[in-house]
Structure 1
């Protein structure tokens, strides 16, 4: 109330009914200008009720004027202003009085450096000092996120973000990254059991193959972007185990050791009929030669049936 401006107009009601059917006087209408966790300006005109001067409710008139959407699955109010999306997070509780799961978004535009771990602030609907579990979405474009236990401060929390590709990438503000699960008093966060220590990882890699200690042919040319000697040794051991992945066995790129099959269920749908694309004999020879090379290298395999080729070629009738 001390941060708002009283409006010189009559309140729409003189009193409201509180808990226990007590009537509470309406002191007047105040105008407030606030900034949400994303730094966006939110203007509200609210009725101040006697005895409730520290908080107020957003009514139907606010939602109608802004054409706002209240999303209880993500715990946020969204509306558009001047071509930009405004998001107001809010907190909900279940029947037992426990906080519900809420969506997590980036607070501001973030620039990520390649091959590095970058701490980034995200929005959380939690009180100061409250701990929760950040669970990332399955698809977060080019970045990698991990489940993290973090603590909220001023509606924000820090989570680690990994960008493993080349160049730089920018994450836009208000990008949905995952969900926030509050940690209740009956939940206990367990510490690591020591199975992921560097020594245990080294033993696990050595158990994968007896070739983990045999040097690669071009080991001096391998570029491992880490200055930690122990980390470089573990990555080099792993590359030695899967040396066939990076070995060029012929005219085709190196094949992985993974047995991947991709099945497309076409049902009773007939193959697509397309006109034959006319091309020169030299182009036909190049296509046939590359196809033979890929078949011999195991990159592709021969398909049988009507759907063995993406389309069925037919001759044009004169």
Structure 2
């Protein structure tokens, strides 16, 4: 240890040294009067990890704790809001614990090795972890659905539903529940209806003068698309006629939704 220049950090419970240009970090556990220290411990990624777009990946974290110790991983506040970590009850295996990381956005995220995503603490001896009691077993769920779901008619698009990797028994239970809400998954045309919640969105303009921007010039085919979209939204109750002093142009974008409204001027108020 002296030859390698090992530094012992009793605060972080880590030994650190360099081999060539590679930094080595080995966690250890402190004991007091023959017993283990139950304080929070930092955990580090064992190796570099890549979390693909909109996926959940299990990553290994190095923890200084005896084999088989049960503890709770508590995530730290991250700079990246799209990476979701949750408190996880884990068991130490070979000096490592496994926690899931969920990537919520449409790009891949890289996690460098030795990163500290949170803290890990062993559970107290008098703490009992809750386990599944069987209330959501297939038999009990089937009994509940039999007494509550009365509609047995198949859905209009039941053969086209993609339910993923499920057993035949689980699919039958899910379909039985969905048949009780026949309009939930029926394919529809036009825009989604206006929300039924008592919520209104208001842009506070203060004493500013009304802004009215001239309409953009569009090709004949583009203008036809705009007219069709506006007529569809008026018919579905998504928008309503207005004769106010405020006016903003329609901007066609490359989206399956069709178009959007350019509110940039009002957002600057």
Q: What TM-score bracket applies, with the shorter chain setting the length?
A: 0.5 to 0.7
Query: Is residue 2:214 matched to residue 1:276?
Result: yes
* CA deviation after TM superposition for structure 1 residue 131, in Å: 0.8
Q: Report the Cα distance in structure 2 between the residues aligned to 1:263 and 1:89, rounded to whole angstroms.
A: 52
Q: Report the Cα distance in structure 2 between the residues aligned to 1:110 and 1:201, rounded to whole angstroms.
A: 38
* CA deviation after TM superposition for structure 1 residue 132, in Å: 0.9
* CA deviation after TM superposition for structure 1 residue 223, in Å: 2.4
Query: Is residue 2:249 matched to residue 1:294?
Result: no
Greater Cα shift, 201-210 or 136-145: 136-145
Please name the residue that 1:31 is paired with. Answer: 3
* CA deviation after TM superposition for structure 1 residue 77, in Å: 11
* CA deviation after TM superposition for structure 1 residue 235, in Å: 3.0
- Alignment RMSD (CA, Å): 5.5
1:250/1:297 contact within 8 Å kept? no
Q: Deviations over 1:158-216 (max 9, x none)?
A: 345688999x97763446665534211231213222222223334555677533x3311
Q: Deviations over 1:45-79 (max 9, x none)?
A: 14xxxxxxxxx6349xxxxxxxxxx9x8xx9999x
Query: Is residue 2:189 matched to residue 1:250?
Result: yes
**Equivalent residue for 1:151, pick from 69, 87, 91:** 91
Q: Report the Cα distance in structure 1 between the residues aligned to 2:239 and 2:146, rounded to whole angstroms.
A: 33
Tell me the TM-score normalized by structure 2: 0.58
Query: Is residue 2:249 matched to residue 1:311?
Result: no
Query: Is residue 2:162 matched to residue 1:223?
Result: yes
2:149/2:177 contact within 8 Å kept? no
Query: Is residue 2:167 matched to residue 1:195?
Result: no
Aligned pairs for 1:1-318 within 5 A: 4=1, 30-32=2-4, 45-46=5-6, 57-58=8-9, 99-102=38-41, 106-110=45-49, 120-135=59-74, 148-159=88-99, 172-174=111-113, 179-204=119-144, 210-211=150-151, 213-252=152-191, 259=197, 263=201, 266=204, 268=206, 275-276=213-214, 278-280=216-218, 282=220, 283-298=222-237, 300-302=238-240, 311=263
Q: Report the Cα distance in structure 2 between the residues aligned to 1:202 and 1:285, rounded to whole angstroms.
A: 52
Shift in CA distance, 177/264, structure 1 to aligned 2, threshold 3 Å = farther
2:51/2:57 contact within 8 Å kept? yes
Any unmatched runs of 5+ in structure 2?
Answer: 17-21, 249-260
SS in 2 for 1:57: strand
Q: Report the Cα distance in structure 2 between the residues aligned to 1:161 and 1:218, rounded to whole angstroms.
A: 35
* CA deviation after TM superposition for structure 1 residue 222, in Å: 2.0
- Bigger RCO of structures 1 and 2 (CA < 8 A, at least 6 apart): 2
* CA deviation after TM superposition for structure 1 residue 286, in Å: 2.5
Any unmatched runs of 5+ in structure 1?
Answer: 5-29, 33-44, 47-55, 60-69, 79-83
Q: If each structure's strand is expressed as a fraction of its own residues, which one has the higher value?
A: 1
SS in 2 for 1:291: helix
Please name the residue that 1:25 is paired with. Answer: none
Query: When the two structures are aligned, how many residues end up with a matched partner?
Result: 242
Q: Report the Cα distance in structure 1 between the residues aligned to 2:27 and 2:211, rounded to whole angstroms.
A: 52
Q: Report the Cα distance in structure 1 between the residues aligned to 2:175 and 2:105, rounded to whole angstroms.
A: 19
Larger Rg: 1
Tell me the TM-score normalized by structure 1: 0.51
